[in-house]
Amino acid sequence: MSENTKMEKEQAAQEEVLQTKEAAPAAEEKEAPAKEEKKSFLKKGNKDKAKIEELEKKVTELEDKVAKDKDDYIRLMAEFDNYRRRTSQEKLELVSMASTDTIKGLLPVLDDCERALKVLLESNDSDAAKEGTELIFSKLMGYLKTKGLAVIDAMNQPFDTDLHEAVAQFPVQDEEQKGKVFDVVQTGYTLNGKVIRFAKVVVGI
């Protein structure tokens, strides 16, 4: 190999090394923005992750609040419904009580009508007086029946403490009459199935 060729090769090698050295900073310069971009992306990713976690936390808190508010609302509605039912029941009871008191106040009038009819039927008074008294009694009784009043059927019925009040006992010969109502001293009444006055009776023994 000639001296010139050898020198050319060495010079070419040196130039190549030089070019490599020069290219290295340029490559680094090219990589630097990519690294910065990567760093920025990772940093941004961390921020986004934190933001997502924060939003998820807020969503969970809001869901819990909505669930609590819904539960409170359901409880409130249930309490209101109970209150409405209770007040409606109380109103009905007040109306019923007022009606009961009014009808109880009219029972002595019915007693007087019964006595008057009994006396008139046993007397020699005119038929007009009998019919008039009977008409008044029938109309009054008919009206009270529409309000739920009913006569307690006591005569010849077995004595029942839920319906009858024994005021006396009377010895009877007939075995079938024993323990049964022998006579009714005062008529008893029920109002809508509830006893408002017991029938006062004489029981056979």
Q: What is the pLDDT of residues 17-48, one digit of tens each?
A: 566 655 555 555 555 565 666 666 566 666 77
**Low-confidence spans in the chain with pLDDT less than 50:** none
Written as one letter, the residue type at 15 is: E
Give the model's pLDDT for residue 20: 60
Retrieve residue 192's tokens: 């809508």
So what's the pLDDT on residue 16? 67
Cα separation, 148 vs 160, in Å, equals 21
Q: Does pTM surpass 0.85?
A: no
- For residue 42, what pLDDT is reported? 61
What pLDDT, in 10s, does the model give residues 75-93? 999 998 898 888 888 887 7
**Is the four-CA dihedral 30, 33, 36, 41 of positive or negative sign?**
negative
Q: Structure tokens of 142?
A: 């008919």
Q: Count CB-CB contacts under 10 A for residue 178.
A: 14
Q: Where are the domains of the chain?
A: 3-104, 148-205
Instruction: Report helix angle 127-146 to 3-122, nearest 10.
Output: 170
> For residue 162, how many C-alpha atoms fall within 13 Å in the half-sphere facing its CB?
3
* The CATH classification of domain 148-205, taken from the options 3.40.50.880, 3.40.50.300, 2.30.22.10, 1.10.10.10: 2.30.22.10
Place of tokens 């990567």: 38
Distances (CA, A) of 34 to 27, 31, 37, 48, 75: 11, 5, 5, 20, 60
pLDDT value, residue 184: 93
Closest CA to 162 of 171, 149, 152, 151: 152
